Structure 1
Amino acid sequence: MTRYLTFIALMATVGVCQALEMLGQTTDGYVKAHIKPPPRTVFEVYLDVKRNPYGALGTFDFSHSDEQSKTCYRVLGRRSAGPDDVRQVTMASEQGHALCQHLLGTLYEAGNGVSQDLYRARMLYLQAAPNDPNAYVELGRMARDGVGEPVDFVRARALFRQAGPGGVVGLGGLMEQGKGGPQDVQGALNLYMQTTRNFRDPAWGAMRALLDNGMSLDTAQVEKYNQLWISGFQSLQQMKIKRDASLKKFRYTEWMRLTVSYRFPVEQGRPAVSLVESSGDSQLDETVLRVLDKLPMDDPYMAPAGMRTPDMVAPIILGPGFFGS
């Protein structure tokens, strides 16, 4: 059965929500990364090989648009926090800005731009948490890993629950391991599936790890999984097109439409793309096919038993202003 992915260029957005909640190293790895060279950004630390798949450290909400939030977001992306960065974040923190309190706590925990002070980090997380629930993720992680306090898995579970969606991966990890309460791997899987909102977000990643170890989803969960998979497929296609320099070089005097079809191997893998309907410009067609061939959709689509991943047919519309000015 062929599925049609409606792809309207003017309204499509790149799916980058994965950046809102990222998995990272254990606390020790995080701290060492900020003390020893070479310096790395906070994001690079969060994404570093995921040695501990339940080490959700530095979960931030990137939806705020006020100036203080923007300032703290900029500091979050620095390779190391300088004196002016610390001053600005501290000022916002002292004014009661929860996100900046949370960020300042990570600086003190890591010794990044300031002297390491785990007690002060914890106090900042506690101040931030009522208005920034993601700060509970840090508190839960500290309790789970014994950072500046005795290990307390029961308390860690409670704190991860208070964090809401941001704490799901931490809570689910303890459920999988039977730490701080009964072992409940199926409950963890259900929690991940209930929480995941985007293809390859942290809850998706935790869910995929369990599926790779032989667990399975029920019918409703498979339907949600496939909907997110298709949405991720669309976003990946859009991103590949938007970022390709060779497509930006074309002179678009009018809107042009072509249609492509993706066929996956019998054993799930990266799809081969072919042209279904030409744009009328063979050079543009060939460039689009080159850009989109073998899209990295390594997570499998969940086709019924004995059936292969269906072909995906996608109209693509390119034109003036599509790539920006």
Structure 2
Amino acid sequence: MKLIKNRSLLLALVFSLLGCQRSVINANQTPHVTIPDDVRCILAQSSHNPSDIDILQKNTERGNTRCQVLLGDLYEHGIGVPQDIPHARSLYVLAAQTDVTANFYLGRLAEEGTGAPVDYRMARYYYKKSATGIGKIPSSLKLAPLLENGKGGPVDLQSAMDLYLDVGGSNAGARDGILRLYRLGAELSDSQRVGFFNSWASQSVSLLITQLSEQCHSLLKANPSAIELKPAKIQLKYVPGSLLAQIKLLESSTDKVFDQRLMQATYDYKFPYAPLPEPSGKPVNIITDIDPRSILCIVHL
């Protein structure tokens, strides 16, 4: 667990995310701010001061699961307190009794062999329990490779694929897992294929707009009134084996100079990653409108 050392920045962050309760009786009184116990523990973990460790300990004894996990992390790594793996483990077990996501930490201990021999079977067990909670993504990304590689139990490519799909293609680790398992024979439904394609297409177009925006000055120089042009329609073709896109202008922006500059700015564009391969092995196309306003507006920032 990475610790945030800038307490002022952390305080502002947690207040913005979690909020705080403030009650002001009148203008002559000092505002009273109530800091949630979770926030107190996050701040305490980042400071390593003995008094703050005491805050963690007191909230742990009161049954706050977030504080139990944070204190366990300090004992696991020996930060601000003597390293004590058994005590860290006991705190994780305590937290897991009321918060299934805390099982992630027990799974990590088992997988990494921290304080005990590596035990992939128990790692699977704990990750599976924590993969059902609100913060399930880390556990899903840990459990899927164990299922994929047959560690701690039989190989189960389809269950691993389902976990990667549940995380979503916007996550690089899940995306790579989906592509890898698809090539190994794991199945996707039609709706899952469409969902993955849409995610790939959206990220690809977003990357293209970013690349064009970085060259907006040259595009603007081509036509200072380009924001008044209609969108140009282009085709991005993915050919298996290369991320370099083959780009074709389908509909003009009504300005030939701008069209020419647009094509020059995209000649070296590469897809962020490969899409799912087509059964036929044919190229995969994206057709999108390039609105000059989406490129040139950032010139004025």
TM-score w.r.t. the length of structure 2 is 0.62
- Stretches of structure 2 that go unaligned for 5 or more consecutive residues are 5-13, 20-35
Identity, in percent, stands at 23
- After TM superposition, give the deviation of residue 130 of structure 1 in Å: 6.0
Aligned equivalent of 1:231: 202
RMSD of Structure 2 on Structure 1 (CA):
4.7
Aligned equivalent of 2:278: 303
Distance 2:271 2:118 in 1: 40
Distance 2:40 2:286 in 1: 45
The answer on whether the counterparts of 1:98 and 1:128 sit within 8 Å (CA) in structure 2 is yes
- After TM superposition, give the deviation of residue 305 of structure 1 in Å: 0.8
Change (3 A) 1:151 1:216: closer
- Which is worse superposed, 93-102 or 162-171? 93-102
For 1:278, what is the secondary structure of its paired residue? coil
Distance 1:98 1:248 in 2: 55
Aligned equivalent of 2:290: 315
Aligned equivalent of 1:205: 176
Distance 1:288 1:88 in 2: 59
Deviations 1:147-172 (A, max 9, x none): 11343333322211111232223222
- After TM superposition, give the deviation of residue 280 of structure 1 in Å: 5.5
Change (3 A) 1:306 1:264: closer
For 1:318, what is the secondary structure of its paired residue? helix
The structure with the largest alpha-carbon Rg is 2
Aligned ranges for residues 218-257 of structure 1 at < 5 Å? 218-220=188-190, 221-237=192-208, 240=211, 244=214
Distance 1:216 1:184 in 2: 9
Distance 2:104 2:207 in 1: 29
For 2:193, what is the secondary structure of its paired residue? helix
The answer on whether the counterparts of 1:258 and 1:285 sit within 8 Å (CA) in structure 2 is no
Deviations 1:219-252 (A, max 9, x none): 424333223322332443455567x385699799
Deviations 1:57-84 (A, max 9, x none): xxxxx9x9115778988999xxxx6546
- After TM superposition, give the deviation of residue 289 of structure 1 in Å: 5.7
Q: 1:142 aligns with which of 88, 96, 109?
A: 109
Letter in 2 for 1:142: L
Distance 2:68 2:270 in 1: 40
The answer on whether the counterparts of 2:158 and 2:187 sit within 8 Å (CA) in structure 1 is no
The answer on whether the counterparts of 2:122 and 2:152 sit within 8 Å (CA) in structure 1 is yes
Aligned equivalent of 1:119: 86
Aligned ranges for residues 71-90 of structure 1 at < 5 Å? 83=48
TM-score w.r.t. the length of structure 1 is 0.58
User: Does 1:153 find its partner at 2:120?
Assistant: yes
| Greater RCO, 1 or 2 (C-alpha within 8 Å, sep 6+) | 1
- Stretches of structure 1 that go unaligned for 5 or more consecutive residues are 1-29, 31-40, 44-61
For 2:17, what is the secondary structure of its paired residue? coil
Aligned ranges for residues 1-325 of structure 1 at < 5 Å? 65-66=17-18, 83=48, 91=55, 94-95=58-59, 98-99=65-66, 101-112=68-79, 114-129=81-96, 133-164=100-131, 165-166=136-137, 167-193=139-165, 195-211=166-182, 214-220=184-190, 221-237=192-208, 240=211, 244=214, 258-259=231-232, 260-265=234-239, 267-275=241-249, 276-278=251-253, 286=261, 290=265, 293-316=268-291, 317-318=293-294
- After TM superposition, give the deviation of residue 309 of structure 1 in Å: 1.1
For 2:142, what is the secondary structure of its paired residue? helix
Change (3 A) 1:208 1:125: farther
- After TM superposition, give the deviation of residue 257 of structure 1 in Å: 5.5
Distance 1:114 1:252 in 2: 64
- After TM superposition, give the deviation of residue 299 of structure 1 in Å: 2.2
- After TM superposition, give the deviation of residue 191 of structure 1 in Å: 3.5
Q: Which structure shows the higher helix fraction?
A: 2
- After TM superposition, give the deviation of residue 90 of structure 1 in Å: 7.2
